Structure 1
Amino acid sequence: MSKEILLVVEAVSNEKDVPKQVIFEAVEIALASAAKRRFEDDALIRVSIDQRTGDYKTYRQWHIVEDQDYSAPASELTVDDVEEQNLNVALGDIYEEEVESEAFGRIAAQTAKQVIVQKVREAERAKMVARYSEKMGKLVHGQVKKVTRDSLIIDLGENAEATLPKDQLIARETFRMNDRVRALLMEIREDNRGSQLILSRNSPDFMIELFRLEVPEIAEEVIDIRGASRDPGLRAKIAVKTNDRRIDPIGACVGMRGARVQAVSNEMNGERVDIVLWDDNPAQLVINAMAPAEVDSIVIDEDAHSMDVAVKSDNLAQAIGRNGQNVRLASALTGWALNVMTSEDAEAKQQEESQKLIDLFVNGLDIDDDLAIQMVEEGFTSLEEVAYVPMEEMLDIDGFDEDLVNELRSRAKEALLNQALQAEEQLDGAKPASDLLEMEGMDNHLALVLASKGVTTMEDLAEQSVDELLDIEGMTEERAGKLILTARAPWFAESE
């Protein structure tokens, strides 16, 4: 029997290219399972094989527990039992004694086979994961092995398989059995079936890796890809920058007679690719990204992280693109929210906003329209700026002297104080309910602010959205989300 075990381990290890240790563990589990049939269901059995000789021994085990924790007679001994039997073990130890071993017969061999198959699968999967973890975010090649309702199973070779979900395919593309596939290794997912390689063909990174493959200057890091966005199967944008001024990054990516970009487009099912020049200036980057549309002007809102992009009226449709495609891709590429409008609309909007600021200064500072217009033209946008901007900057304005500046600053501070007092009065009149006040994550001031907005109970808060809370000063998206989830907790408790 000892020699037979060694022969089995040697043969399976060589056939499956799995370490002998894995096969020995499988045989030990099989022998322990066979021996366990002679004992209670809960009995703990361990088999130890001498990997040099093939000899093995079988042990029955018991956990040493406190008397009050004793619940499994077949696998536990109490501290009192240990003292009565004079056993040399302590609380928390495992006591074991040798029992008769099962022969490595038909049943044990059958069990061992099942365990070995499982262990081999696990070992092969672990090797596959280790091999492909180095290729994460890179292109892989394979052949369609199976087509299911939700995904394609791709044979990558060397006993490695990957899943290409159908929602990761490019629009309108289809694959059949045995078709060759190139895709991006997007994720190694762990689930009940073990580790799975998940592929993608509609990720922007897939396009980036295709350009890296087709354009040597990108692979050699002479050209950097700084961003990419896609409407898979239809259109894409990619922003590039050169590290060598002698090289035109757009020309290099397009290639001779468009060969390089055409190769990428063909792989992406004919997807049209716009290659734009990266610029560290956000406004210039947006102008580049809006191509082929020409931009007339841009107004940047740093606080909202957005830009108003003005174009000529006859260029508006091209700037927006079909179903908003061009502006959507440009926004994703640049990371800015883009509001595209005609130059006439932009001018009207700017005049409207300027008029609001003029009215703010006229009413808040009690000044005439001319002075208010001058302040708006100088870039003032709030009473806070008037009150606290350094005096030297205001004195640089044409026609401003020290007396005028001091008076404007004084009036601005007084107006801000009056606003604060009015806000406090609103808060004082607000009466939040006790459940809102006592809710986890809530403080008195925030409860008063919420009550002033009509949110007086946990139920009211539960019905709010994150966006509705973000206009509260100092509120973050994360905190708003946690507060709303806490307020909704009773809903989930009731449903359970």
Structure 2
Amino acid sequence: MERTVGMSRPELVQVADTVARDKSIEREEVFAAMEQAIQKAGRSKYGHEHDIRARIDRKTGEIRLARYIEVVEEVENEFTQITLAGAKRKKADIELGEFLVDPLPPIDFGRIAAQTAKQVIVQKVRDAERERQFAEYKDRLGEIINGLVKRVEFGNVIVDMGRAEALLRRDEVIPREHFKNGDRIRAYIMDVRQEPRGPQIFLSRTHEQFMAKLFAQEVPEIYDGIIEIKSVARDPGSRAKIAVLSNDHAIDPVGACVGMRGSRVQAVVAELQGEKIDIIQWATDPATFVVNALAPAEVAKVVLDEEANRIEVVVPDEQLSLAIGRRGQNVRLASKLTGWDIDILTEAEESERRQDEFRIRTQAFIEALDVDDVIAHLLVTEGFTTVEDVAFVAIAELSEIEGFDEDVASELQNRAQVFLAERERLNEERRKELGVVDEMAEIEGLTAAMLVALGEKGVKTLDDLGDLASDELIEIVGGLNEDDANAVIMAARAHWFGEAGDSADDATAKTPEQDA
């Protein structure tokens, strides 16, 4: 029967229960912290080299202190280990791997020992509280919380959320917004991170999703999923745009978000310190979406360039300043909301540019085909933009132009083909003058004009071409998309792999971007 020396301390049970309740942590964690503190005090009294362990009875608060000695085959530490033969002299039925337990008298805590124990308990309880906070708030990312301003330090706001503290950095506060101790505050949980000093909860009032979540609180249809918020763009404290879509054709998403006499949107505006909010009808068609996003400006015409992800918007002259907005705010928010780069032109600017393009194309046809300006005008008006268009179009299509017959169409096409052949010959001569190797001319996708442009930039061999990244090649030659540029560069590199004994197919395993 193991002999124990204990001291009943029922107040310890009360303390553990109180701390566990007040700090919202497990009672067992508080007892473990107390036991560790008593162990530390015990080692200070009996020697740090000993394995001193404490145990507190969870019901009576009785403290038991004992020294543990492990039974081993070969002793490496005489303070914590003993041989089996030595252990059997003290306890006959003991086995290897078990412990001899020597009870110790309870400690009469002195002032220093008591202070040390208190520090350990406080630290352990704080650690347990931090773990509980992290476990609770890491799953609450993206929620809006309510709290009280505890203090303000250099513009950073420390927020008391009841069971935890959070940080609202000054760059996440709406401009011209000021808080003082005791103010009530709503904010968006932007991030929760484990840091050396414990878990840190970061809040934001400038985040796009803060506004989206505020609308979800004010508009039941959003909370219920009938209305979706598709995208948000904010200039915090000044202006914002929000795109909404209704999954029920009977419900107008813009009207639902505005509310009766603007009550719903005004509640959000008030929380965001008067930030003006444009509520936009989302659309699958990019042109329609961009037109909606530029509200309140009126749009006359839209031209999309999907490859460059750019959209050109033409507005009446008097709408230009409204479309651009103060310091470019309206077009900047519309671009962010839609994900398209937006260029805005007035009708006068667009007309002038169209005339310039018409004049340039007309002059190109006059010079290339040796025709008068009337025929050149007719070609441009019918949508022909390059000499190649004329050279390779069906004769019937050229003959359909008013004033043309089959003989005129054949003559124009013949002149176009002669012009292109002569241009190709001149480019080929120039390529050879520049020293661009014939192997480059054999690469599919490179024209003679492109080879001349490369040669003028010093790219004259397969190795030179293979060393380029796709964006560099596109910048030099133009007329290639990224996939085509990658294919050209990989074709130029094929001989590298062939020399190494690998197949040319292996070259495609690594794109120019990865290589760069």
Does TM-score exceed 0.5, indicating one fold?
Answer: yes
Q: 1:283 aligns with which of 269, 284, 287?
A: 287
Q: Choose 1 or 2 for highest CA Rg.
A: 2
Q: Which stretch has the larger CA shift, 329-338 or 126-135?
A: 126-135
* 1:302 shift after superposition: 1.8
Q: 2:351 aligns with which of 334, 343, 347?
A: 347
Give the Cα–Cα distance (whole angstroms) in 1 for the partners of residues 471 and 339 of structure 2. 32
Letter in 1 for 2:447: L
Where does residue 421 of structure 1 map in the other structure? Answer: 451
Give the Cα–Cα distance (whole angstroms) in 1 for the partners of residues 101 and 515 of structure 2. 56
SS at match of 2:181: coil
Where does residue 139 of structure 1 map in the other structure? Answer: 144
Q: 1:16 aligns with which of 20, 37, 41?
A: 20
Structure 1 residues 46-445: aligned runs within 5 Å: 47=53, 49=55, 54-58=63-67, 104=107, 105-106=109-110, 107-157=112-162, 159-352=163-356, 374=379, 378=383, 399=399, 416-423=446-453, 425-426=455-456, 445=467
Letter in 2 for 1:113: K
Letter in 2 for 1:335: G
Kept after mapping to 2: 8 A contact 1:204/1:228: yes
Give the Cα–Cα distance (whole angstroms) in 2 for the partners of residues 376 and 257 of structure 1. 52
CA-to-aligned-CA distance 1:398-452 (integer Å, 9 cap, x gap):
64999969x9799599685313433564576679xxxxx9xxxx99523899799
* 1:172 shift after superposition: 1.1
* 1:367 shift after superposition: 8.9
Kept after mapping to 2: 8 A contact 1:428/1:448: no
CA-to-aligned-CA distance 1:126-180 (integer Å, 9 cap, x gap):
22233333432121111111111131111112x3221111211112121221111
Distance 1:358 1:98, change over 3 A: farther
Percent same amino acid among aligned pairs?
36
Give the Cα–Cα distance (whole angstroms) in 2 for the partners of residues 479 and 46 of structure 1. 64
* 1:244 shift after superposition: 0.7
* 1:344 shift after superposition: 1.9
Distance 1:266 1:20, change over 3 A: closer
Q: Which runs of 5+ in 1 are unaligned?
A: 62-72, 76-93, 432-436, 455-469, 484-496
CA-to-aligned-CA distance 1:83-117 (integer Å, 9 cap, x gap):
xxxxxxxxxxx999989969543444432321221
**Number of residues paired by the alignment?**
428
Distance 1:386 1:303, change over 3 A: farther
Give the Cα–Cα distance (whole angstroms) in 1 for the partners of residues 365 and 53 of structure 2. 87
Distance 1:373 1:60, change over 3 A: farther
Q: Which runs of 5+ in 2 are unaligned?
A: 71-75, 79-96, 401-405, 428-445, 477-481, 490-510
Give the Cα–Cα distance (whole angstroms) in 2 for the partners of residues 263 and 238 of structure 1. 15
Give the Cα–Cα distance (whole angstroms) in 2 for the partners of residues 305 and 452 of structure 1. 17
Give the Cα–Cα distance (whole angstroms) in 2 for the partners of residues 9 and 281 of structure 1. 68
Distance 1:199 1:447, change over 3 A: closer
RMSD of aligned Cα (Å):
5.2
Kept after mapping to 2: 8 A contact 1:427/1:452: no
Give the Cα–Cα distance (whole angstroms) in 2 for the partners of residues 372 and 8 of structure 1. 100
* 1:54 shift after superposition: 5.0
Q: Which stretch has the larger CA shift, 334-343 or 345-354?
A: 345-354
